[in-house]
């Protein structure tokens, strides 16, 4: 793992040596879509605008990130149901709790780091503990920003899972986000959703996928490896599975969009099928996410599968271009392929 040279160690001479490294940009407004991938624009904003036609109780709120969470579409469609709270995340969630107490259903958006870290206590006390019907929708989940630790929500699932009453959803693509929006509105109680914004990859429609809150779904079967994955890692697992066909490695993918409550029945059923290596893959630190949750249930139920875990290291991650970082930290498609081949050797 490359780390920047500590600042103490540098002198003005340091950068004039040897060949210049090829510069790669750290694209702030990065789309996680790979080149040539099918995408759909702003699936969250679009779905919320549609849903709000028949749900006058839905309110949109943001902390100066409407444009960056696709909620501006809702603001344009329903200006009188849209509250700009300024860049004040604690206020955002406290006020969302208040609106929910009065019977409205606020969809409150910001970046994952600023909800789960800056406003944790406000969400814990005013939303989760009071079981308020607030929908927390957060862009830049896990490692989806090249901006360094301030914008990388490597631990958001761990934090939100640890909150009683909270439902936690990590959708894979645009197809799924479009279905999650009405489902979370229909659910009574607080929900945290990881948001993919902008041009969002479209993958699961090919598999005739339907989202059901609290359900894990087998997306494809396979005899050698069982990926248990969530969020955008399901997309990566499916791509890896296709590539691994060339190496005669037969890979199944179980997609787990609802992290809490966890569909332990399906997970146990699939993990129990003999002869398969179980590989949990998540866009999240290895601490406290899907991997540890699955491992716990396997242990409790005496399922002795060969268990592997792909996730982000327990470290402050680097700034840089997302593709570079996904390779470096082992969550790109290529990294999955290489890792599985090694483990299957």
Ligand X SMILES: Cc1ncc(C[n+]2csc(CCOP(=O)(O)OP(=O)(O)O)c2C)c(N)n1
Active site residues per annotation: 89
Residue 137 binding another protein, by CB under 8 A: no
CA distance 138 to 196: 8
How many beta carbons lie within 10 A of that of residue 118, not counting itself? 18
Contact 142, 259 (CB under 8 A): no
Distance (Å, whole) CA 268 – CA 233: 20
Q: Is 292 in the site for ligand X (CB under 6 A)?
A: no
Cα–Cα dist 27/66, whole Å: 20
102-121 positions binding ligand X, by CB under 6 A: 114, 118
Pick between residue 118 and residue 194 the one whose CB is nearest to ligand X: 118
Question: Applying CB under 8 A, which of residues 39, 47, 61, 68 lies at the interface with another protein?
Answer: 68
Q: Which of 51, 118, 140, 202 binds another protein (CB under 8 A)?
A: 118
Is residue 137 involved in binding ligand X (CB under 6 A)?
A: no
Of 4 and 302, the one with the shorter C-beta distance to another protein is 4
Considering just the CA atoms, what is the radius of gyration of the chain in Å?
20
3-state secondary structure of 245: helix
Q: Which stretch binds another protein (CB under 8 A): 26-34, 41-49, 171-179, 271-279?
A: 26-34
79 binds another protein (CB under 8 A): no
- CA 180 to chain centroid, in Å, comes to 13
C-beta of residue 171 within 8 angstroms of C-beta of residue 144: no
DSSP-derived letter for residue 142 is: B
Candidates 71, 6, 19, 34; CA nearest to 203 is 34
Which of another protein, ligand X, none does residue 125 bind (CB under 5 to 8 Å by kind)?
none
By CB under 8 A, residue 85 contacts another protein:
yes
Does 19 bind another protein (CB under 8 A)? Our answer is no
Among 60, 66, 141, 291, binds another protein (CB under 8 A): 66
Q: Kindly list the residues in this chain that would bind another protein in the complex (CB under 8 A).
A: 2, 4-8, 10, 12, 14-16, 21, 23-26, 28-29, 62-68, 72, 84-88, 90-91, 113-114, 117-118, 146-151, 318-321, 324
């Amino acid at each position: 793992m490359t780390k920047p040279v500590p600042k103490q160690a540098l002198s003005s001479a340091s950068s004039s040596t040897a060949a210049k490294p090829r510069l790669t940009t750290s694209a702030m407004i990065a789309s996680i879509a790979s080149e040539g991938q099918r995408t759909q624009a702003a699936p969250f904003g679009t779905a919320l605008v549609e849903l709000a036609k028949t749900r006058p109780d839905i309110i949109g709120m943001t902390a100066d990130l409407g444009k960056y969470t696709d909620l501006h579409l809702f603001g344009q469609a329903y200006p009188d149901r849209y509250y700009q709270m300024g860049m004040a995340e604690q206020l955002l969630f406290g006020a969302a709790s208040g609106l929910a107490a009065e019977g409205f259903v606020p969809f409150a958006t910001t970046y994952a780091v600023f909800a789960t870290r800056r406003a944790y206590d406000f969400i814990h006390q005013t939303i989760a503990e009071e079981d308020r019907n607030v929908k927390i929708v957060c862009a830049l989940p896990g490692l989806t920003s090249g901006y360094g630790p301030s914008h990388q929500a490597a631990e958001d699932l761990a934090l939100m899972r640890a909150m009683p009453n909270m439902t936690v959803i990590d959708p894979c693509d645009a197809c799924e986000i479009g279905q999650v929006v009405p489902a979370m509105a229909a659910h009574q109680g607080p929900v945290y959703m990881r948001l993919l914004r902008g041009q969002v990859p479209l993958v699961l429609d090919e598999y005739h996928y339907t989202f059901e809150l609290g359900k894990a779904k087998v997306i494809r079967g396979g005899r050698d490896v069982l990926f248990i994955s969530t969020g955008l890692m399901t997309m990566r697992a499916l791509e890896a599975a296709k590539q691994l066909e060339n190496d005669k490695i037969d890979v199944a993918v179980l997609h787990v969009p609802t992290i809490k409550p966890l569909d332990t029945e399906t997970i146990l059923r699939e993990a129990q099928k003999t002869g398969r290596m179980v590989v949990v893959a998540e866009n999240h630190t290895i601490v406290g996410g899907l991997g540890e949750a699955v491992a716990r249930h396997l242990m409790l139920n005496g399922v002795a599968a060969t268990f592997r875990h792909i996730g982000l290291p327990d470290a402050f991650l680097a700034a840089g271009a997302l593709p570079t970082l996904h390779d470096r930290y082992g969550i790109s498609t290529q990294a999955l392929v290489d890792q599985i081949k090694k483990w299957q050797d």
